[in-house]
Amino acid sequence: MTRPILYSFRRCPYAMRARLALLSASVDYELREILLRDKPPAFLESSPKGTVPVLVTKETVIEESLEIMLWALAWNDPEGWLEMPEVGHALIAENDGPFKIALDRYKYHTRYGSDPVAEREAASLFLRKLDDMLNGQAFLFGTDPKLADMAIATFVRQFANTDRAWFDAQDWPDLIRWLDAFLASQRFVTIMKKHPVWQANTDL
């Protein structure tokens, strides 16, 4: 293996943020798009837990999206994503914890048997915090993107897409502007290009 291998699923917000960091760091890697309902044996051999993303390098297997981001940026961080206040790491932890739990119970309420309105409101507490932080700025910490922006944006996208009309009707104009700018960015367009599903017998 000469290049790292990223097992990914295009629409997964965790996989999206891993791809964003690999793109920013200019990591040359092989993308293997998989179907989560039909996981290839090579993927499960690399990571028995069976969730994406998974980055396989010569030295190690990285099974968590945030760790993939940090691995890539430790190698090359041309945009200075890691140069952010400590509160940025707390925001990512809140996104990955309470916000994501409420988001899942809002979006997949029939699966969880949860109250979608209550879970939407619980998730919105975090979104209002982001809107307050943006306060007219392009990004959470000023004029340039940081790790927190890119680690969180894909999940805000998932929340917004659950009911975009409702999302756009809320009083968080800076959050809407921030999300729309992210969705229109060349970086997002690039990482969302469609790839054929990887098949082991086509891996040369």
Q: What's the token pair of residue 40?
A: 């290839």
Domains in the chain (CATH in brackets) are: 5-80+188-202 (3.40.30.10), 87-185 (1.20.1050.10)
pLDDT of residue 203: 44
Distance CA 135, CA 70 (A): 27
Would you put residue 136 in left (φ > 0), alpha (ψ -120 to 50) or beta? left
Q: What is the mean pLDDT of each run of 10 residues along the chain (204 residues)?
A: 91 98 98 94 94 96 98 98 98 98 98 98 98 98 98 98 98 98 98 94 49
Burial class (CB in 10 A: 0-12, 13-18, 19+), 77: middle
Phi, psi of 10 (to 5 degrees): -50, -45
Peptide bond connecting 53 to the previous residue in cis, omega within 30 degrees of 0 = yes
Residue at 143: amino acid letter: T
pLDDT of residue 201: 67
CA distance readout (Å), 15 to 10, 83, 167, 201: 7, 22, 23, 23
* 85-106 core/surface letters (b: 16 or more CB in 10 A; e: else): eeebeebbebbbeebbebbbbb
pLDDT of residue 1: 52
CB 103 within 8 A of CB 90: no
pLDDT of residue 117: 98
Distance CA 113, CA 124 (A): 19
Residue at 42: amino acid letter: A
CB 27 within 8 A of CB 68: no
CB 8 within 8 A of CB 52: yes
CB 140 within 8 A of CB 149: yes
